[in-house]
Amino acid sequence: MEIQEIKQRFGIIGNSPLLNRAINIANQVAPTDISVLITGESGSGKEVFSHIIHQMSPRKHGPFIAVNCGAIPEGTIDSELFGHEKGAYTGAVGERKGYFETVNGGTIFLDEIAEMPLGTQARLLRVLESGQYIKVGSSKVEKTNVRVIAATNVDVYDAVKSGKFREDLYYRLNTVPLRIPPLRDRKEDIYLLFRKFTSDFTDKYRTPAIQLDDEAQQVLVNYSWPGNIRQLKNMAEQLAVLERDRVITGQTLLTYIPMETSGRNLPMRLDNQQKEDFSERDILYKVLFDMKRDMVELKKLVADIIEHGGVSINHANHSQTLNQLYRDIDLPGTSETQFTLQKPVISNNNNNANPYNITQDAEEVEESLSLIDKESDLIRKALKKHKGKRKLAASELGISERTLYRKIKELNL
């Protein structure tokens, strides 16, 4: 079956080369009966690929079951998978069939395989090698014909080196490794997925369609999406329900992105220093959007003065407003320019389309391009706004109080 047909059948959206390669591997391995280890971050769609492999295999008419190994308590996982005899343990009031017995002839998908206890791993290895298992509390050897597809969101080889996962089981499961790319590696697919999700949710909740402006599209694509497709779908649903303005701006979209996790790529662990660096980067990113928004407002104000010059306005107030806006924007790489508004000159002709003459002083002052200066200025403003209260200032800046304290000491504020 062609890749495009597989996408249509299983509802997969995207044209990323990494995604296409994963689909191609699943397509090739499906007709065989070998074990597959699917790796990928949480929310990247590993279970979808287990369905692809099962539905395109000779076992497609047999049963399929997905088991989350991390959600089953260690004391009962053997009973869940292999079954138990009556009286095998306290509370075992009757005989119970396990998943390997009920799914005989079909496929079992073991999610979060790295969370499986070592004792259960030994039992699973025997099933993979010989198709045999023993129920809890029994001495009778049972046979099963089940295909095993496993998945994990952690590096299993690291678990092998730390003694938390059996090396022989790792190589037995990893006959064909299948890696699902995270959403941040499929940037060309992010907007397509977002449009599909918002379309589905606006139809479901009977709300107007959602649109993103150019700035919002850039925010959407450049975000790291640590929760992958699950997180993107969740945000699309929030926008479809909560936003009254159906044209979403970049500033609005940023309010739906958790600042503390922005830039992190789960499930990798980061130390405190890395977390703080990502938070500071997010602050600068947010400041740039604020600068751009203020610049747009300034342009609109100037255009309004030019086009509606005949309206009665106080030229002194407008001059003060323009200069204040320009000082607030404080864009890097620009020079200060003083705006002045002059009273109109009365004449007998009607050629004055603009009664206010906007002039610019020729004097230009070079401005510092240092990010440290900008960061220092932002911290001063936040502290001044909240009257020196570091906790409130840190919340305004989007960083931890500890990071703010460190920055105050570094910048000698």
- Token readout for 90 is 């306290």
pLDDT at 311 over 60: no
According to DSSP, the residues that pair with 133 across neighbouring strands are: 142
Among residues of the chain, what percentage have pLDDT more than 90?
55
Instruction: List, for residues 187-236, the tens digit of each pLDDT value.
Output: 999 999 999 999 999 999 999 999 999 999 999 999 999 999 999 999 99
| Average pLDDT of every residue of the chain | 81
Q: Is 83 in contact with 101 (CB distance < 8 Å)? A: yes
Least Cα distance to 259 among 287, 234, 233, 238 occurs for: 287
What CATH fold (topology level) applies to the domain 184-254?
A: Helicase, Ruva Protein; domain 3 (1.10.8)
Neighbours of 71 (CB within 10 A): 10
Q: What is the pLDDT of residue 338?
A: 45
Instruction: List, for residues 18-47, the tens digit of each pLDDT value.
Output: 999 999 999 999 999 999 999 999 999 999
- Token readout for 164 is 């938390």
Kindly list the domain boundaries of the chain, sorted by start residue: 3-181, 184-254, 272-360, 371-410
**Could you give the C-alpha distances from 238 to 1, 216, 242, 367, 387, in angstroms and in order?**
36, 15, 6, 41, 35
Mean pLDDT over residues 299-321, rounded? 60
Report CA dihedral (332, 334, 335, 341) to the nearest 10 degrees: -120
**How far from the centroid of its chain's Cα atoms is residue 125's Cα?**
35
Q: Same CATH topology for 3-181 and 371-410? A: no
pLDDT band at 125 (very low <50, low <70, confident <90, very high): very high
The count of residues in the chain is 413
Per CATH, domain 3-181 is 3.40.50.1000? no
Per CATH, domain 371-410 is 1.10.10? yes
Could you tell me whether strands 176-179 and 36-39 are parallel, antiparallel, or unpaired per DSSP bridges?
parallel
Least Cα distance to 63 among 30, 111, 100 occurs for: 100
Q: Whole-prediction pTM value?
A: 0.61
Sequence-distant (6+) residues with CB within 8 A of 173 are: 35, 36, 37, 113, 128, 148, 150
- Token readout for 299 is 């342009």
Read off φ and ψ for residue 142, nearest 5 degrees: -105, 155
pLDDT band at 380 (very low <50, low <70, confident <90, very high): confident
Q: What is the pLDDT of residue 20?
A: 95
- What whole-number distance in Å separates Cα of residue 285 and Cα of residue 373? 16
For the ranges 162-166, 207-211, 336-340, 406-410, which has the lowest average pLDDT?
A: 336-340
Please classify residue 271 by burial: count the beta carbons closer than 10 Å to its beta carbon, then call 0-12 exposed, 13-18 middle and 19+ buried: exposed
- What whole-number distance in Å separates Cα of residue 83 and Cα of residue 355? 89
Q: What is the pLDDT of residue 341?
A: 44
Mean pLDDT over residues 382-395, rounded? 83
Amino acid at 253: L
Residue matched to tokens 């009778």: 140
**Could you give the C-alpha distances from 99 to 59, 103, 169, 174, in angstroms and in order?**
16, 6, 19, 22
- Token readout for 227 is 């929760």
